[in-house]
């Protein structure tokens, strides 16, 4: 569920190294003047420029390559180029003419923030650039601040990539394992370069807290209409496709069943 990009070969898939199920993440590092052609595949790709630039790209840019799209070529400028490429398997909409779609871009500094305050900043980045099948969000937590409430997904897969600072991941066991096996929470310490995958349907919820300094990170997540999200701290369930949030009572498997 965790990998560090310094420990993964440059041409390897970071998401798969971290235990992802249906997510791809590649790290791209180009020397000044170097260029590379990105893979041509049936995916919706999202490129995030970590540092450097070239051919109009700059640090903080998020570029969405819709499906279908032509294989783009990246060219590094005088400062080189460091970027992350997320890929989601996808199909064009029904009755799509098949002509390649043009990429769309937005910079994290220019994007509208969903939240900005004492806790940090949260930007739905790829969605503002037109992503349809997945989101790539930018988050910054100030020192000691918490991110989203603990939660887990039934259908959506999430991937965290840490860019700066340190943070603590807290893993919450499912209510059933707490009731039947007295499972306890776990913590994982992460720093810049760590990639953490949260596959769907694990029953294990996660939350995030920044360390003694602020932490910046990207969060990739699929957007399945049939996803159900559970919040263990408040016993809430969110049915996204229905727009409904309700509270349920956790029970053990044998609750209410006759003993004989």
Asked if the structure places residue 25 within a domain, the reply is yes
Instruction: Find the Cα–Cα–Cα–Cα dihedral 174, 176, 177, 180, rounded to 10°.
Output: 160
Look up the CATH number of the domain holding residue 232: 2.60.120.10
Asked if the structure places residue 219 within a domain, the reply is yes
* Angle value at C-alpha 46, between 42 and 50, nearest 5 degrees: 145
Domain that holds residue 224: 2-90+102-247
Work out the average pLDDT over 218-226.
Answer: 93
Asked if the structure places residue 96 within a domain, the reply is no
The whole-angstrom separation of Cα 118 and Cα 179 is 37
Work out the average pLDDT over 129-137.
Answer: 94
Residue 217 in 3-state DSSP? strand
* Angle value at C-alpha 167, between 166 and 172, nearest 5 degrees: 160
In our burial notation (b when 16+ CB lie closer than 10 A, e otherwise), range 140-162 reads bbeeebbbeebbbbbbbbbbbbb
Instruction: Sort residue 130 into left (φ over 0), alpha (ψ -120 to 50) or beta.
Output: left
For residue 76 the two structure tokens come to: 């590094």
- pLDDT averaged over every residue in the chain: 94
How many independent structural domains does the chain possess? 1
Task: Tell me the pLDDT band of 194, cut-offs 50, 70 and 90.
Answer: very high
Asked if the structure places residue 95 within a domain, the reply is no
pLDDT the model gives residue 171: 96
For residue 61 the two structure tokens come to: 């840019």
Q: What is the pLDDT of residues 39-94, one digit of tens each?
A: 888 899 999 999 999 999 999 999 999 999 999 999 999 999 999 999 998 888 88
Task: Give yes or no for residue 260 having a pLDDT over 80.
Answer: no
Instruction: Find the Cα–Cα–Cα–Cα dihedral 126, 131, 136, 142, rounded to 10°.
Output: 40
Predicted structure pTM score: 0.93
What percent of the chain clears pLDDT 70, i.e. is strictly above it? 100
Asked if the structure places residue 258 within a domain, the reply is no
Asked if the structure places residue 254 within a domain, the reply is no
Asked if the structure places residue 252 within a domain, the reply is no
């Amino acid at each position: 569920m965790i990998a560090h990009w310094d420990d993964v070969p440059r041409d390897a898939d970071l998401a798969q190294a971290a235990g992802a199920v249906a997510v791809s993440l590649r790290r791209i590092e180009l020397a000044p003047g170097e260029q590379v052609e990105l893979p041509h595949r049936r995916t919706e790709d999202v490129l995030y420029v970590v540092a450097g630039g070239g051919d109009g790209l700059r640090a903080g840019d998020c570029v969405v390559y819709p499906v279908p799209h032509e294989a783009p070529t990246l060219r590094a400028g005088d400062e080189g180029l460091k970027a992350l490429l997320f890929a989601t398997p996808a199909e064009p909409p029904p009755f799509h003419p098949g002509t390649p779609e043009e990429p769309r871009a937005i910079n994290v500094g220019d994007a509208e923030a969903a939240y900005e305050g004492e806790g940090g900043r949260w930007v739905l980045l790829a969605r503002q650039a037109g992503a349809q099948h997945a989101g790539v969000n930018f988050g910054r937590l100030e020192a000691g601040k918490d991110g989203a409430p603990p939660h887990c997904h039934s259908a959506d897969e999430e991937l965290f990539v840490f860019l700066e600072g340190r943070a603590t991941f807290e893993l919450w066991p499912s209510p059933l394992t707490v009731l039947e096996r007295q499972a306890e929470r776990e913590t994982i310490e992460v720093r810049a370069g760590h990639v953490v995958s949260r596959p769907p349907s694990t029953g294990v919820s996660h939350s995030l807290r920044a360390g003694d300094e602020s932490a910046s990170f990207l969060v990739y997540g699929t957007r399945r209409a049939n996803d159900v999200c559970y919040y263990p701290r408040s016993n809430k369930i969110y049915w996204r496709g229905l727009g409904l949030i309700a509270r349920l009572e956790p029970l053990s498997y044998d609750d209410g069943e006759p003993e004989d």
